[in-house]
Each structure stands twice: as C-alpha cells, then as structure tokens.
Amino acid sequence: MTELKNDLFLRACLREDVERTPVWMMRQAGRYLAEYRATRARAGGFLNLCRSPELCSEVTLQPIDILGADAAILFSDILVVPEAMGMELTFGVGEGPKFPDPITCRADVEKLPVLDDPSKELGYVMDAVSTIRRDLNGRVPLIGFAGSPWTLATYMVEGGGSKNFSKVKAMMFNEPETMHLLLEKLADSVAAYLNGQIANGAQAVQIFDTWGGILNTSNYKEFSLAYMQRIVQQLTRENDGRRVPVILYSKGGMGWLEAMADTGCDVLGLDWSIDIDVAKARVGDRVALQGNMDPTMLYAKPERIRAEVKDILARFGHGNGHVFNLGHGITPDVPPEHAIEFFKAVREESVRYHG
C-alpha cells in the first residue's frame, strides 16, 4: 500500500504524539458542497451514487481538496446492510429512507440471512473502498463505517425514520427474544461488513449508533451497547502493518461513556451535549476522544466559529488523543466557507497544544 503522507488522524486515535489536532467532520461529503450536488445529479440519485465506486471516490475526495480534512470517510449509507440482507430500500425525492415491508414479527427476522461475505451482496462498497484508497494515493487515511445494530433495527422495524419509535420499542418490550435475534444477526453482519472494508483498504472504522440515546440506561446496555461490543470483538484490529482504530459514536449516549470505553474501542465520538473536559476527566487515558462542536455553530460568523474551536481545544488541553469533529453531521444549508473556516481554525489554533 502507498505510504501515508498525513497520518495525524491515525496517531491521534491511538493517543500517539501529533504536531497538531487532526480534524474531519461527519457528513463532510454532503449537500452543503456544490461539487457534491453536481456529482449526485450526474449519478441520478442517492442510491445510484452509493453504488458507483468511481463516483463514491469522487465525492469522498472532494472535502480533502476543499477543506483540507485530515481523514476521508467512505461515502455510503448505513442502510445498505439491511438492504443486502434482503429488505427493499427506497429514497424518495425529498424523503428519507423507507423500507416498504418492515419487520413485524419473529418470522420476518428468521428469514433474514447473516452476511458473512460482504464481497457478494455489498461488493460495490468493497470496490468503492479500494477505489478511494487508490485515488487518495496516501494523502490521508480512509475511514470505513457502519450503523450500529440497534440503529439499523429502528429503521427496519419502523419502516423508516420515526418520532417516537413506538414499533421498535414495542418489539423490544413485548418480544425481547425476537429483538435479540435481530440484533445478533445485524451485529454479525456488520462485523463482517466492516472487516470487508478493512480488507479492502479502510484504515479506521466508525460505528454510528444514531438512536442509542432514545433508550434508558438498562435498555441501552442490553439492546445497543452489548451488540456494538459484539462487533468490536470480531473486528480486524491490525492491517497493512498498522493498528486499525475503532471509533464508537452514540448520539445522546454521553451518560454512558465509561461503559462505552469498556467495549474495547479506541476512540469515543462525543455529541455536543457534554463538555470535552468533562468527558476527558471521566474516561482518562483509556480512549481517545473525537468531537465535539455543535454542528449549528457552522451557521455562526467565522470569528465566532474560531472562538468556539479555541474553547474546545482549551478544554481538552495539552496532550494527545483528540480528533476534532462536530458533535453530529454537518447540515446541508451550511455555507461552505464556514466549513472551510472551521477546518482552518483547528489547524491554526491547535498547534499550541502539542509539542
């Protein structure tokens, strides 16, 4: 493989010395960029874009060129896993993802296969990973990702997005054995999927637990965290002569950081509901921290964005183990120049905390 020219992100994930704090952001290849919108239009739709390795590579590299991000993240969608397991997935114009035939009973779950060879049903993602690695040519590391079993299950049972998650919670409460069977199948499928990404060139992986925070503590640990740990335990942790960092991100899960750190992950992603100094005090040097500026701060004036960056850097303080990011994904109507200023501020202001 091509030698990395910028490995700040990988070193920070492993709490090694860095010259400055690396920065990337969730959804950095997205609709806020005119270049992305043009590529998506050429693809003829979101799913078509996801299924084209060459176009996936194109949009994945756009933020590296425009923002100067210290890591690229695979362009895909978390719901390609349930689709590969046999569920029809649609993205209507102006709508979110839909599963027209959601899971309603144990028989539906029993019919779902476990994905043990991602090169078959998800070969287009594997091709995208290898294509992106080729096109990056060692500029920055590539992050692979997947949704957590619980988050995937919410979409599969609800049939799409939800406000109160009544269907998936009813199944969890009334048919816990059915829910556990679904989560087991998803965990093993996601582990195989992420290992496939690693084998094809992903140099770190992130598990997105977008909806873990809708659960109380006991249910989170039983139905969400346990299955993320099941994934972590199956992952390839070294490839191409380097450690492969694993990032765990539970939106709304900041009350459970200690338990999350116990999974064996290398990095905890933080949302914006916790101050980073508080999170650092709670987990110590067990894991690195990623985050955690409020995404809506990018609507602010550039000088206010820089002030927020400085505050978060100061709260983390001197030393290593910090990857700067937003607390969730960038929103589509953020001015691109504000995102550029955000990245510039991190690069310039973080040097004083290293060396």
Per-residue pLDDT of 121-141, as tens digits, reads 999 999 999 999 999 999 999
Whole-structure pTM over 0.85, yes or no? yes
The mean of the pLDDT values for the chain is 96
8 Å CB contact between 127 and 135 = no
Flag whether 30 is marked binding: yes
Q: Is the peptide bond before 292 cis (omega within 30 degrees of 0)?
A: yes
Q: What's the pLDDT score for residue 93?
A: 67
Could you read off the pLDDT of 202-239 as tens digits, one per residue? 999 999 999 999 999 999 999 999 999 999 999 999 99
Q: In whole angstroms, what is the distance from residue 320 CA to residue 16 CA?
A: 6
> Residue 3's pLDDT band (boundaries 50, 70, 90)?
confident
Could you tell me whether strands 90-91 and 72-73 are parallel, antiparallel, or unpaired per DSSP bridges?
unpaired
Flag whether 210 is marked binding: yes
Flag whether 296 is marked binding: no
Tell me which of 147 and 46 has the higher pLDDT: 147
Residue for token pair 């980073």: 276
Amino acid identity for residue 70 in this structure? D
Flag whether 31 is marked binding: yes
Q: Please work out, in degrees rounded to the nearest 5, the angle formed at the alpha carbon of residue 184 by the alpha carbons of 179 and 188.
A: 150
| CA distances from residue 91 to 34, 97, 123, 150, 156 in whole angstroms, order as listed | 21, 5, 21, 21, 14
Q: What's the pLDDT score for residue 2?
A: 74
8 Å CB contact between 79 and 155 = yes
Q: In whole angstroms, what is the distance from residue 190 CA to residue 213 CA?
A: 20
Rg (CA), the chain: 19
Q: What's the pLDDT score for residue 16?
A: 97
Written out in words, the top-level CATH class of the domain with range 8-353 is: alpha beta
Could you tell me whether strands 267-269 and 142-147 are parallel, antiparallel, or unpaired per DSSP bridges?
unpaired
- What the block records as the tokens of 252 is 């709304």
Residues annotated as catalytic are 27, 31, 40, 77, 155
153: Cβ contacts below 8 Å, ≥ 6 apart = 168, 179, 182, 183, 186
pLDDT score of 285 more than 60:
yes
Residues pairing with 97 in the sheet: 91
pLDDT score of 92 more than 80:
no
Once rounded to an integer, what is the mean pLDDT over residues 306-334? Answer: 97
Give burial (CB, 10 Å; 0-12/13-18/19+) of 228. buried
Q: In whole angstroms, what is the distance from residue 46 CA to residue 90 CA?
A: 10
Once rounded to an integer, what is the mean pLDDT over residues 311-315? Answer: 98
Flag whether 155 is marked binding: yes
Flag whether 180 is marked binding: no
Q: Where are the beta strands (DSSP E) in 67-218?
A: 72-73, 90-91, 97-98, 142-147, 204-209
> Residue 94's pLDDT band (boundaries 50, 70, 90)?
low
Flag whether 328 is marked binding: yes
> Residue 355's pLDDT band (boundaries 50, 70, 90)?
confident
DSSP H or E stretch at residue 60: helix 53-66
Q: In whole angstroms, what is the distance from residue 46 CA to residue 63 CA?
A: 18
Could you read off the pLDDT of 148-201 as tens digits, one per residue? 999 999 999 999 999 999 999 999 999 999 999 999 999 999 999 999 999 999
- What the block records as the tokens of 159 is 């049939």
